[in-house]
Amino acid sequence: MSEKTYKITSHAGIHARPATVLVRTVTPFNSELFIEYKDKQVNLSSIMGLMSLGIPEGAQVKVIAKGDDEEQALKSINEVMELEKLGVEV
């Protein structure tokens, strides 16, 4: 299991468009990926689950990966966070 923590810097938080990008990013991986916010954890491959968290600007979230390609999956998430200007690693 590997994990990374991010501070959300996007003024709109994680809304529909970046949530869709995150879900599409994790789809090819075999690892299970989760995002945790305020003690709630949802599968990162679920757009509805991700949107249900209502993650605002300034929030701290944890991305957790479990599986044989977890490091590559977290690297891809990191790239999306930077490219979409969603958040910075804490």
Select which of 4, 7, 15, 62 is catalytic: 15
Token pair of 25 as six digits: 């990013």
pLDDT tens digits for 23-54?
999 999 999 999 999 999 999 999 999 999 99
Give the per-residue pLDDT at 71: 97
Q: Domain residue spans in the chain?
A: 2-89
Closest by Cα among 33, 27, 15 to 74? 33
- Assign domain 2-89 to its CATH architecture: 2-Layer Sandwich (3.30)
15 is catalytic: yes
Give the per-residue pLDDT at 35: 97
Non-local (6+) Cβ contacts of 16 within 8 A are 51
pLDDT tens digits for 4-23?
999 999 999 999 999 999 99
Using DSSP, state whether 9 is helix, strand or coil.
Answer: coil
Name the burial class of residue 18, with classes exposed (0-12), middle (13-18) and buried (19+) by CB atoms within 10 angstroms of its CB: buried
Give the per-residue pLDDT at 49: 96
